[in-house]
Structure 1
């Protein structure tokens, strides 16, 4: 999830843990603990782009890191706030739960999280919520705003806290239910169309949880389309993209390419953009794909021009957006 959402969630959890004892300081501790796994952004200052995308949400989002950083923060907080009536164990349980919530929620979107690093490079991804979903973030955000203005000990603080954490939790459950429904419909449609596949996933299109991006295919290529929860027609207008693995033969041993294939979890295609060979990671969707079915993929990496790959994960998310695009998204969400 985005950094602001993590800060708001952490602050709410801090208030729940020790708001009566520490006041707003507890919110600061919660916000810090909820944000600290994203310290991996520092790796971008010395790592290559392809190495950095693997480092992000890697070790700092692992269970081992949760344990280690929670213990360190517990020692610091216990010493910093003496005298107090909070045991070291309670501090540890608080920090470990806050950090764990961060890495757990991050697994709900499509980037993937290295829960088992450094023992396993397997990435966990539920593909159930977009990385920035205002319908999830708004509740802890409102709660944080209220908590910042209400005085310590105010009777309404607990109500705002419960609202912020409770509604965001319910929304996550709602997203999982939506995913189950979408997967059921999509797999039925794939079967009816007699589309065979060895790899498959669905993930929400930007900023909501009703229109879903669909990918299914194998080593030859992938069928890509969109499905809304409100679609009445039991069909999907798929576009087919050949994988074009043969284009990689001249650079198959290149370190950047090895990192990209591992990161993509095999969901990739290759094509030429002008004079450059481009690696597309299909998991991040297409640039306004609901409006342009043959549009470029958000994650496109220039294999022969690595200097052009800054912010490779982010650069295409909202490229080409305008009012017409936004209206097209809303119309597509409403269903065919």
Structure 2
């Protein structure tokens, strides 16, 4: 999730655990710890593909969190000697803030390596968009009231309400995904549509419109399904991938790593004599968030691997406009 959400969640969890005992310091520790796992983005990486696939790695591992929690508890008690008797609550605050961070990330489509180093498999729930105001706002309001309320009990209640509402929204998102998955499975079976793998993920900033990617041997379908427009079936657009487009991948480094990290949801295209691989899980057609240049074409030697680099994302305001119109008027385009 985005940094604001993780800070808000960490602050709310921290205040819920230790706010009554140490006041605003609990929320501050929660905010700092809620940011800590994402600091891995500042670590050096060999190239853009490595940075992409190593993010949410060791710093998001439940095993690493369990190992470093005692050290962080020792540090907190050293910095706040007046709270040394609250050792158990410090353990709860630190472990819960770090754990809720990585578990929330695992609900997004990007993927989180929860069991590193035993496994580098990126767990991906695809339940909530990486930025969702309806999840974040209750946390911000609740912890905001708690920080400035003169009445401690009132502040604790407001913070608890914020946490409960955010959890209920996440539960709603899980239910919406389950319903969407059911609709898509029934549609594929009814239409006898061949497929190898299927992805459903919420549209930008909401859980009412869901994006669907269906992979098959010759390319993929990209479609959308709305919970509110009254249409019982998703709408799809076909995108063809020829064997000639995919053939150069076999000899290129980094491809296996990208295949595994994207769970196989990727496309390949040639642009200006450059071979580009796009992660189909995030973004929309022609505006995918993660696109990597992997090779360039030479007239004599064919495709030659290059140091991979990420291409700039070109966002389309028209796509967000379409999403908004569909949310408002159930418009199909």
TM-score where L is the length of structure 1: 0.88
- 2:187 corresponds in structure 1 to 189
Q: 1:82 to 1:176 in 2, by over 3 A?
A: same
Using the alignment, how far apart are the partners of 1:304 and 1:248 within structure 2?
Answer: 12
**Alpha-carbon offset, residue 208 of structure 1:** 0.6
Using the alignment, how far apart are the partners of 1:235 and 1:19 within structure 2?
Answer: 48
Q: Which blocks of at least 5 consecutive residues in structure 1 are unaligned? A: 288-294
**Alpha-carbon offset, residue 12 of structure 1:** 1.3
Q: 1:38 to 1:182 in 2, by over 3 A?
A: same
The one of 312, 316, 323 aligned to 1:320: 316
Q: 1:301 to 1:178 in 2, by over 3 A?
A: same
- 1:92 corresponds in structure 2 to 91
Q: 1:310 to 1:222 in 2, by over 3 A?
A: closer
- 2:123 corresponds in structure 1 to 124
Contact 1:189 / 1:234 at 8 angstroms: preserved in 2?
A: no
- 1:38 corresponds in structure 2 to 38
- 1:24 corresponds in structure 2 to 24
CA deviation profile, 1:198-221 (whole Å, cap 9, x unmatched): 211100110111000001123432
Q: SS where residue 40 of structure 1 aligns?
A: helix
Using the alignment, how far apart are the partners of 2:242 and 2:288 within structure 1?
Answer: 15
Q: Which blocks of at least 5 consecutive residues in structure 2 are unaligned? A: 297-305
- Aligned alpha-carbon RMSD (Å): 2.2
Residue 57 of structure 2 is aligned to residue 61 of structure 1:
no
Residue 219 of structure 2 is aligned to residue 221 of structure 1:
yes
- 2:289 corresponds in structure 1 to 298
- 2:13 corresponds in structure 1 to 13
Q: 1:246 to 1:75 in 2, by over 3 A?
A: farther
Aligned length, in residue pairs:
321
* Pairing of 1:24-173 with structure 2 (within 5 A): 24-43=24-43, 45-84=44-83, 86-151=85-150, 153-173=151-171
Q: SS where residue 153 of structure 2 aligns?
A: coil
Q: 1:83 to 1:311 in 2, by over 3 A?
A: farther
TM-score where L is the length of structure 2: 0.89
